[in-house]
Structure 1
Amino acid sequence: MHGLHLTADLHDCRCETRWLVDAQALGAACVRAVDAVGLQAVGTLFHSFPGGPHGPGGVTATVLLAESHLCVHTWPEQRGATLDVYVCNFGGDHSAKAQALTASLEAIFMPKRTERHSLQRGTIGAEPFQ
């Protein structure tokens, strides 16, 4: 159960609108980012939500990792997105890969402001990875 769970709330994103509304484009970018940092994608789900009175619908891009998961949700009407990256560190410390993945996805959205959180989950024996 040991791992690193990173979240980022991205506000006032200055990216191209397609990153906020095109589930397939965002999903493909997520898979490329996963590969680039050396994690292993084992499944994907990309979903578009219908638009409403406030504008186009957002998207969710989920990549199931051998090491755990990546999930991105967007709110185009607010120019916002959230990132959720969790990696299990049981067989090795994947923390640096999780941090690199989060940073690469933040770069796609180009937020004016970001709220980041990090949580160490579980332990191996008496000592968690640091």
Structure 2
Amino acid sequence: MSPPLSYQGIHLIADLHGGHGLDDAELVARCLADAAVAAGATLIETRLHHFGPGMGVTGVALLAESHISIHSWPEHGYAAVDIFMCGVANDPDAALALIADTLGARIENRVALRRGYGALEPGLIDR
């Protein structure tokens, strides 16, 4: 029997700068789905909204393990990414790396948090 988890999941929050395709809803949808696969997560559904020509995209990949979301501002070469995955079998950093690579962006301001009720070591993991 394995010991109990000291937390329920990891929550990554990151800013992406530079890159391309931040106004391409099809690329962002494919990126979210591929990120779920890269993390070893179970994709349930992706939902996106495109704000119009030259404008950004907001989207979420609903996962059995929680979610991956993105909101982009192509006019600023910026995207906000939020990845939360429950359990220890998944790799949210792999999802983040795939998103950055697919969009040709650099990861800045990455923060990782342990999440969960009764966490033995709650809070910030690293920056």
Q: TM-score, normalised by structure 1?
A: 0.78
Is 107-116 or 60-69 further displaced after alignment?
Answer: 107-116
> Do the aligned residues in 2 keep the contact of 1:87 with 1:94 (CA within 8 Å)?
no
Q: Distance in 2 between matches of 1:75 and 1:30?
A: 17
Q: Cα deviations across residues 46-76 of structure 1 (Å, max 9, x unaligned)?
A: 110135xxxx210012100000000011101
Cα gap change, 1:94/1:82 in structure 2, threshold over 3 Å: closer, same or farther? farther
Please point out which of 98, 105, 113 is paired with 2:99: 105
- Is 1:122 matched up with 2:116? yes
Structure 2 unmatched ranges of 5 or more: 1-6
Please point out which of 32, 35, 41 is paired with 1:33: 35
> Do the aligned residues in 2 keep the contact of 1:2 with 1:128 (CA within 8 Å)?
no
Task: Report the equivalent of 1:80.
Answer: 78
Q: Distance in 2 between matches of 1:29 and 1:66?
A: 18
Please point out which of 49, 52, 55 is paired with 1:50: 52
Shift of 1:109: 2.8
Number of residues paired by the alignment? 117
- Is 1:9 matched up with 2:9? no
Structure 1 unmatched ranges of 5 or more: none
The percentage of counterpart residues that share the same residue type is 33
Shift of 1:29: 2.0
Shift of 1:123: 4.4
Q: CA RMSD in A?
A: 2.3
Q: TM-score, normalised by structure 2?
A: 0.79
Shift of 1:113: 5.8
Give the counterpart letter for 1:118 in structure 2: A
